[in-house]
Amino acid sequence: MKINKVLIRGELQPRVPGAPTTVSTYSTKSTGELLELAIHADVTLEFILEDKTAWRCGQDELDLLFPLVVSDPFEIPALIEPYGIKVDSPVQFIHIHQNGSDDSRGLNLKGRQAGTAAAMATVRHPLQVSIMQGDLRFASYPLLAGHFLGDSILYAESEIDKALKGALREKHNLGIYPGEIGTTEIIISPQTTFAGAIIVGLGKPETLTSFQLANTVERGIAKYLIDLKRDLYNPGDNYDGPVGISSLIIGCGYGGLSVENAISGIILGIQYANEKIHKLFSGNAKLIEQLEFIELYEDRAVSCLYSISKLEEDVTNSYNISIEKEKKRIGMLPGSRQRIIEKTGEGWWSRITVTQSQDANTRFKSLVFNASTGSAREEQSNLFSSTQVLDQLIEDISTNNKWTPALAQTVFELLIPNAFKEQLKRQGNINWILDQDTAAYPWELLQDTTSPSAKPLCINSGMIRQMVTNNFRNRVQSVAANNALVIGDPKLFGFLPQLPGAIKEGKIVEQILHDHNFGVSTIINGSATAITEALFGNVYKIIHLAGHGSYNPEKPGETGMVIGKDIFLTSGEIAQMSSVPEFVFVNCCSLGRTQGMDNRYYQQRYKFAANIGTQLIQNGVKAVIAAGWAVSDAAALAFTEAFYKLMFNGETFGEAVKKARSKIYEEFSDTNTWGAYQCYGDPFYRFNNRSWSAQSQRSYMISQEAEIDLSNLRNQLEMGTAKDESFLQQLAEISAAVDSAGIRTARITEKEALIYADLFRYEDASEKFQALLQVEDASFSFSVMEKYLSVRSKMCYERRANFTADILLQEIGYIDSQLTILLGLGPTAERYSLVGSNYKRKAMLHEDPAEKIKACQAAAYYYQKACGIEGNTTLAYAYTNWIELEAIVNVAAARTWGTTVQFNEESYNLPSTDILQDVLRKLISTPGRKFDYWQMINNANVHCCNWILDACRDKQFSTHDAVFKSYNDVWKKAESKGKKMVVINHLEFLTNILSSAGIAQAEEVDKLRVRLAELV
């Protein structure tokens, strides 16, 4: 929103008669006050906006408050001009305050908080806030997320898009996706596994503030609540509880906001939306009552908890939130992850915006640098070095094709403001956001030191460019077909020398594209007519140009690829193509100067790359590579070949460029070709038809890195979203990297064993457990003994095809003796249940029906003991196993419920049918919005238990469809193979024992097992 001018007119009735009103302006670029003026007259401020609307900050207009975004100087006219005031600042907030008044209104964030807190408190109870750590697909409510202007669908948005079956990308590809502050897209999902998403525009990353975040969240949530009021969708099937919103911590990282500022902006935005909707519908509308923050990583979730607790304790009650005491913790969802804090920046691209000042009257033009920080502000610095000095240095680099560490450091010192030098020296990935002036500088050549071991910044870290431009196609017609055009060394008829290197390059690129199923049109030594006809006669996803390039600022028509005598292929021709390619590689290099040739073909080549890169991005190309000056034949060929192979191997644009640059830097150290390529586009862009991407070579410095990777892998396994082969491959890579680095610990081996067990690979798990028990440093958890014995017991049953029953029963007996030792150390519900499970396997291994029932009675006894342990967190599992086993034994032994049972020297009471049904009913929970795996699986187990009870009573089974649905509903959410196999093996046990007990139609249980096994 841009303000053309601010007018002061009319009257404002003061709350305190006679008290002066102060008008102040503040800037996000400075903590100081730019203007403070006491006006003793009663006034109304009216802001005239660029879109011809007017918002007034008057006595009762508490909700019509917006930031004033000013890009050009504006004047406060007429009434205030005698004070000689002019305001020149990019962003202004106006704060109106009357001395002695309780009413502090304003367009600054604090003013609005204080001004509306009392009003919000009357609207509803405090907003209930919770924090969950895990995968966003388990959000309890529609998920609130943000999208920066001009970005692709990345990171969390990409995961949301997968959950919504590609709905976000469809909107994005059509150009109807949020970007600007205040824009919103709401997609409510009809599926039960994901509630949907509310995407709000975040504007440009370098300009996002907590206030703007609150503004855009307010509009998005208000739209959602209005749609709810209109019954456009329901907050949830079979759910009539409070309306809620799940939210990511929007604006951190890329947006430069701290966790606390991001959270405060989201909370205030929701509160403002509630306030407006309450007022709009006179209290007759649903409002947001529950806010659930979801964070994947543990460290960020902890920061979120601390920040929310701090906001809850705010003495002004500006946020009006509450966290229930029993919920003042981080809830866990499937898929949660940990990370090494120092490594959190890996794969992330810091944005540094560089623009040239508009002051044309000074000799020293200013370059304005902006970079996002970890706080709620953006650092800015102005550089006043002489651009003439810089231009000369850069022209020397381009014209003479020379690069030295000393020259690179000189350019670094002159081109980078002191405040930004340390940030660049940290050597993280950099995304330069440039205008048409600053794009002309070769940022890729920078080096911060002349130390012998030092390398240029673009070699040690990723470096990609993006263009700030107002000229772009509103709708881009993309190319679906895998077609490519390769032009190599056009026929110039002596106008310029031919380039054998360009011919070789064209043929290599053609072969790579062919190998990846592209239809390739290749023109080598072609005429201008043939090239033009090929360019417009078909549509292409990829265009590769290799030949001479020209830059002539006085004649734009002579800036482009030379395709004939005085004939040039410019971006203007490409702009005329109705369909726009995704990727263009412009390797227009000039490899030597001949006598009498026009210097314009060799000077200011870096500006040629900037020019053609700018034009292609404006046309809608997703990524562009353009050579900025003459390059070495061999080095250019190596870069091109490496880049295409990396892209087709699944690398992102940013990573492929980084690795290709590094390759030619190491192999061709006598040339600066590695810095010649100016790469524009999205660092995360990929070729869609890439081949299978191998995982990057893993390497570790310390054992904690591997331990975290293993923990994350196991958490991902709980999601059940990938095939076993993928997890096994990742596990093998981690293990190999651990052994290569020599950092193996007991904790690492323990985690490997648990992952193998979760994957139902009991042989591998047992091998790891055995190795673990032999290490001198026994720094593993005591639960390893329980897990190991459980795996050995399961392995006995899996080996039944290769070993006799007697051998396996001996092993079962040994496991029972070891579990008895553990029970002697301390009886727990887990250990009693393990003994019960071991007896179930003993029952299946026996062939004698009497021995089977005897083992079942022993298993029932131990599950009954587990149910008696206070604080048993798996009561439903133990209770359903106990009741099912007792039901089978009752049939076989002609016992009845409510009688006393003797086992060895101990007796216990069987519950009556009324009591056991009452317990089973209590174990069933009504589904809520929050995902709770154990609650859902408990319900399925109880459903199965009732089905078995009915069959044992009636001596026949009803259809298994309802039980199948109970388990399937859980497995659609999340479940590892190991946990699924627990259910399937239990059904196999039931089939085996029920048949032995003489219960008719036990095959119905086996049908259920087979059906569920198909889902594994």
What is the per-residue pLDDT across 623-636, written as a single tens digit (0 to 9) for each?
899 887 778 888 99
pTM of the predicted structure, to 2 decimals: 0.61
Q: Reply yes or no on whether the pLDDT at 755 is more than 90.
A: yes
pLDDT tens digits along 696-725:
467 888 898 899 999 999 988 877 667 778
Q: Reply yes or no on whether the pLDDT at 114 is more than 60.
A: no
Task: Give residue 808's pLDDT.
Answer: 94
- Alpha-carbon distances of 532 from 523, 540, 614, rounded to whole Å: 11, 13, 21
Task: Give residue 386's pLDDT.
Answer: 56
Residues 967-990: what's their mean pLDDT? 83
Q: Side-chain half-sphere of 545: how many Cα atoms within 13 Å?
A: 31
Name which of 235, 306, 317, 327 is nearest 268 in CA terms. Answer: 317
Residues 285-292: what's their mean pLDDT? 92
Give backbone dihedrals phi and psi of 761, rounded to 5 degrees, phi first.
-105, 80
pLDDT tens digits along 906-954:
999 999 999 999 999 888 876 555 566 667 788 899 999 999 998 888 8
Task: Give residue 52's pLDDT.
Answer: 30
Q: Reply yes or no on whether the pLDDT at 207 is more than 80.
A: no
Q: Reply yes or no on whether the pLDDT at 806 is more than 80.
A: yes
Task: Give residue 399's pLDDT.
Answer: 53
Among the ranges given (29-43, 207-221, 309-323), the one the predictor scored with the smallest mean pLDDT = 29-43
Name which of 68, 110, 108 is nearest 89 in CA terms. Answer: 68
Task: Give 234's pLDDT tier (boundaries 50, 70, 90).
Answer: low
Task: Give residue 401's pLDDT.
Answer: 56
Output DSSP code: residue 2.
Answer: B
Task: Give residue 216's pLDDT.
Answer: 93
Is 960 or 976 the better-scoring residue by pLDDT? 960
Name which of 952, 942, 947 is nearest 993 in CA terms. Answer: 952
pLDDT tens digits along 480-524:
788 999 999 999 888 888 888 899 999 999 999 999 889 999 999
DSSP three-state, residue 994: helix
Contact by Cβ (8 Å): 389, 364: no
Q: Reply yes or no on whether the pLDDT at 602 is more than 50.
A: no
Residues 327-342: what's their mean pLDDT? 78
Task: Give residue 119's pLDDT.
Answer: 41
Is 238 or 71 the better-scoring residue by pLDDT? 238
Task: Please tell me the distance from the alpha carbon of residue 189 to that of residue 194, in angstroms, as a whole number.
Answer: 6
Contact by Cβ (8 Å): 359, 366: yes
Contact by Cβ (8 Å): 964, 1015: no
Residues 47-70: what's their mean pLDDT? 32
pLDDT tens digits along 258-274:
788 889 899 999 999 99
Is 611 or 777 the better-scoring residue by pLDDT? 777
Task: Please tell me the distance from the alpha carbon of residue 734 to that of residue 262, in angstroms, as a whole number.
Answer: 35
Residues 6 or more apart whose Cβ sits within 8 Å of residue 450: 405, 406, 409
Name which of 933, 930, 973 is nearest 242 in CA terms. Answer: 930
Task: Give residue 638's pLDDT.
Answer: 93
Residues 878-904: what's their mean pLDDT? 90
Q: Reply yes or no on whether the pLDDT at 90 is more than 50.
A: no
Handedness of CA 139, 141, 146, 150 (dihedral sign): positive
Task: Give residue 804's pLDDT.
Answer: 92
Give backbone dihedrals phi and psi of 690, rounded to 5 degrees, phi first.
-65, 155
Contact by Cβ (8 Å): 636, 673: yes
Output DSSP code: residue 976.
Answer: -
Delimiting residues of CATH 3.40.220.10 domain(s) in the chain? 127-332
Token duo for residue 17 = 């008669």
Residues 6 or more apart whose Cβ sits within 8 Å of residue 515: none
Q: Reply yes or no on whether the pLDDT at 957 is more than 90.
A: no
Residues 751-757: what's their mean pLDDT? 94
Among the ranges given (637-646, 784-793, 947-956), the one the predictor scored with the smallest mean pLDDT = 947-956
Q: Reply yes or no on whether the pLDDT at 381 is more than 70.
A: no
3-state helix, strand and coil shares in percent for the chain, rounded to the nearest 5: 45, 15, 35
Residues 666-677: what's their mean pLDDT? 85
Handedness of CA 624, 626, 628, 634 (dihedral sign): positive
Task: Give residue 531's pLDDT.
Answer: 92
Q: Could you tell me the fold of the domain covering 127-332?
A: Leucine Aminopeptidase, subunit E; domain 1 (3.40.220)
Q: Reply yes or no on whether the pLDDT at 145 is more than 80.
A: yes
Output DSSP code: residue 86.
Answer: E
Q: Reply yes or no on whether the pLDDT at 46 is more than 70.
A: no
Task: Give residue 529's pLDDT.
Answer: 92
Is 803 or 387 the better-scoring residue by pLDDT? 803
> Distance of alpha carbon 182 from its chain centroid, rounded?
22
Residues 140-164: what's their mean pLDDT? 88
Is 284 or 120 the better-scoring residue by pLDDT? 284
Q: Side-chain half-sphere of 212: how many Cα atoms within 13 Å?
A: 28
Q: What is the average pLDDT value for the chain, to the nearest integer?
A: 76
Is 696 or 16 the better-scoring residue by pLDDT? 696
Delimiting residues of CATH 3.40.50.1460 domain(s) in the chain? 483-681
Task: Give 210's pLDDT tier (boundaries 50, 70, 90).
Answer: confident
Token duo for residue 968 = 């399937």
Q: Reply yes or no on whether the pLDDT at 431 is more than 90.
A: no
DSSP string across 553-594: TT-GGG-EEEEETTEEE-HHHHHT-SS--SEEEEEE------
Dihedral in degrees, nearest 10, Cα atoms 837, 840, 846, 848? 150
Q: Reply yes or no on whether the pLDDT at 142 is more than 90.
A: yes
Residues 8-31: what's their mean pLDDT? 35
Residues 815-823: what's their mean pLDDT? 95
Task: Give residue 688's pLDDT.
Answer: 66
Residues 42-48: what's their mean pLDDT? 37
Task: Please tell me the distance from the alpha carbon of residue 492 to that of residue 77, in angstroms, as a whole number.
Answer: 63
Task: Please tell me the distance from the alpha carbon of residue 216 to that of residue 526, in angstroms, as a whole number.
Answer: 53
Q: Reply yes or no on whether the pLDDT at 896 is more than 60.
A: yes
Among the ranges given (5-9, 327-331, 468-472, 799-803), the one the predictor scored with the smallest mean pLDDT = 5-9
Is 921 or 600 the better-scoring residue by pLDDT? 921
Residues 1006-1013: what's their mean pLDDT? 91
Choose the most confident range, by mean pLDDT, from 52-66, 347-361, 762-776.
Answer: 762-776
Q: Reply yes or no on whether the pLDDT at 831 is more than 70.
A: yes
Q: Reply yes or no on whether the pLDDT at 345 is more than 60.
A: no
Is 310 or 137 the better-scoring residue by pLDDT? 137
Task: Give 109's pLDDT tier (boundaries 50, 70, 90).
Answer: very low
Task: Give residue 548's pLDDT.
Answer: 86
Residues 219-245: what's their mean pLDDT? 78
Q: Reply yes or no on whether the pLDDT at 683 is more than 60.
A: yes
CATH of domain 483-681: 3.40.50.1460
